[in-house]
Amino acid sequence: MKAIIIYIVLLLCSLSAKSQNYFADYLIVGSSLTYIRFSNKDFDSYECGYDEFTWNVNAGIQLSKNLFAGLQLLNIYSSEIATKKDNYLIYGIFTQYNLLKKEASRLFIEASLNKGNYCTALDIPYWNNDLYYFGIGGGFDFPLKKISNLYLDLSFISYSILNEVPEKYSYTQYIIGLNYRFNAH
């Protein structure tokens, strides 16, 4: 039943979007790296906390003049300081709305729905299967003049866990990355 509903929604979106001149005008493929370190000194002056390294890969397609949608995958490597890093995943769908009228640069707001296993609760993030996240944020990407169709992406996204988890907090990601536009004019 779920598959039928999803198919109908996608079909209606596709039919609606195909009537517009901008549908699938270009594809954006992006990649970014983020490093965050949180540390404090404990009572004995030992450093405690955690660090995380995130590699975000995404691909999106233009649906209308200002609307984009796509898929994303976040590979998160995180651990307590001075211990072996664990690997976590968050993946899902996103939509972006461009606030600028010109097409060269984009100033956008973003919303996403994701699934993963990176639980940001208590002091140190830990593994917890079947978590759902709602992401909200924004960003700006602008062309690099020397390389055609290559854009610098500067963004900030906050992912809130939708599941009931005691003492949860949002996973935030600042993004410094590169986007490549295929079939861009």
What domains lie within the chain, and their CATH numbers?
Answer: 23-182 (2.40.160.20)
Give tens-digit pLDDT for 8-41. 566 556 555 554 676 667 899 999 999 887 766 5
What is the pTM (predicted TM-score) of this model?
Answer: 0.80
Over residues 110-136, mean pLDDT:
91
Q: What is the pLDDT of residue 28?
A: 92
Residue 31, C-beta contacts closer than 8 angstroms, at least 6 positions apart:
55, 56, 57, 58, 177, 178
Q: Are the beta carbons of 139 and 154 closer than 8 angstroms?
A: yes
Q: Are the beta carbons of 167 and 122 closer than 8 angstroms?
A: yes
Percent above pLDDT 70 for the chain:
77
Q: What is the pLDDT of residue 148?
A: 87
Rounded-to-integer distance, Cα 153 and Cα 176, Å: 6
| Mean pLDDT over the full length of the chain | 83
Q: Are the beta carbons of 116 and 90 closer than 8 angstroms?
A: yes
CB atoms within 10 A of CB 162: 14
Q: What is the pLDDT of residue 125?
A: 82
Cα separations in angstroms, 94 against 9, 42, 69, 83: 16, 39, 6, 33
Over residues 159-163, mean pLDDT:
95
